[in-house]
Amino acid sequence: MRYLQCLFIFYGVVAAASPQVKLDYATYVGTSLPAGVNQFLGMRFAAPPLGNLRWRHPADPLVETSPVHASAHGPICYTLGAAFDPNATTLSEDCLFIDVYTPSGASESSKLPVWFFIQGGGYIQNSNANYNGTGVIVESGRNIVVVNFNYRVGAFGFLASERVAKDGTLNVGLLDQRKALLWVQKHISKFGGDPNHVVIHGVSAGGGSVTHHLTAFGGRNDGLFVGAIGESVFWPREAPIPELEFQFDLFAAAAGCGNVTTGNQMACLRAQNTSTLVAANVPHPFQGRAANPDFFYTPTIDGDFVRDHLYTLFREGKFIRVPTIIGDDDDEGTDFAANASTPAAVTSFLTDNYPQLTPADGARITELYPLRAPLPGHAPFFPSAAAAFGEGTFTCPSNFILAQINRVHQPVWNYRFSVVQADDAAAGLGVPHASELPAIFGPAFVPGASGSTFATANAPIVPVVMNYWISFIRALDPNPHRVAGAPEWVQFDTANQRRLKFVLNDTHVEQIPADEDTRCAFWNEIGARIEQ
């Protein structure tokens, strides 16, 4: 397995030669690794979103007259609830940086497929930053280019109000992503990548972002990508602007701009120092609720990039037709659910996150999610709360997307990841949200995963998962370059709803169970309503 060989050589002595790439605004000096991979870290793809550029469409990066050393990751964007630290190097408001990993021998004529990864974090943090593309490049036979980047989150990326719309731009976090895609179109050939063969892959909020790019501008295809992977697709509450004015009022007041005239509030916010804005970037309950939701700032319907609820856009066929992989994990909700001890506590927790749930919805949820087998360290109805939130927010939207893509006769593949890690099982989490990430990129290349069971007991699943993903990046089909002995991953269709189930030493095709289908029918029926 090439990725295992790469583990031993990646951390070796860096080769002496330093690769350079000359772009129209800067010359970047990267690092040549012994693994046969060049990495360019912390390159700017947009201007610093500071001062007058706050809550505006990302601007072009500034011109650099001297070569810039691209040898370290740039800081990630301020997270919701983070404390301001003037000496911090890992968090910053100036955070729009991009990383590129490419085979050392690649040139402009190589035209290699491009793996464009959109990290997750619930739109409130950059939680999957600094993944390293070396492992998958080596495993591919040095036949791909990998891109990773940051985007604005929390109040900096998703503050919503008519005041923002009038003097700024809504959903700038999503527009940062699009700016990065446009950067790839313009510059990736200099790194050996093919701008006409870009596959977008996102996890969690990154997976939700993938669906926003599929439906952007009502499904307008600007040729930015040719395939898509949605991993644990996150569809939270995405309310229209009038429902979110209270968020702006709370943020403006906390930032010292609550008492200025309405027309000057944006100017006031843009004039504040970063520390003041960071202190104001905290969660609050939705109106009429007592507890904070899991995710307070999320995309909103802006009438342009996001033209309607995702459920509506997919149902109406307003999405780009490209080959797609969509999948999730056994226990998507265990990382987020309240430790509910009664059925009423389950519905209360869900309503904190989805205030539009009605009493009738609550009664139906109680029927669909009765008392389940207990999980270690949790109250009796925690498994019910976790299953309801996980399916309502992740699994069922994914199943809905599958059906809509299949309806327009585009190839789509579905999966369920069921590989248990001992520490997660002991903590009562099952196979939690986004568990497959270390298997996709390799545990040595995902921060914090090098000591996981994917490097030990679960190591055999890594090449299986990794090579399905590599195959899709290269061929827009997970099968041609799958690892030897892995089963054929059959396409999903609504007639029998087949998916690939990843199980250690027993990966196989299964049908979506009938009871899951019944529960998802409920969530997908009410989905557009509770997004408000």
Give catalytic residue positions.
204
Q: Confirm if 157 and 80 have CB atoms less than 8 A apart.
A: no
Alpha-helical (H) ranges within 291-434 are 310-315, 343-353, 359-368, 382-390, 396-407, 422-426
Q: What are the tokens at 16? A: 């002496």
Tokens 């976090």 correspond to 173
Q: Confirm if 214 and 118 have CB atoms less than 8 A apart.
A: no
Q: What are the tokens at 444? A: 């040595």
Q: Which residues contact 477 (CB under 8 A, 6 or more apart)?
A: 323, 411, 471
Tokens 């579905």 correspond to 414
Q: How far apart are CA 471 and CA 140, in angstroms?
A: 8
Instruction: Choose among 200, 287, 300: nearest CA to 250.
Output: 287
| Alpha-carbon dihedral angle through residues 247, 253, 256, 259, given to the nearest 10 degrees | 120
Q: What are the tokens at 122? A: 């619930």
Q: Which residues contact 83 (CB under 8 A, 6 or more apart)?
A: 278
Work out whether strand 112-118 and strand 227-231 pair parallel, antiparallel, or are unpaired.
unpaired
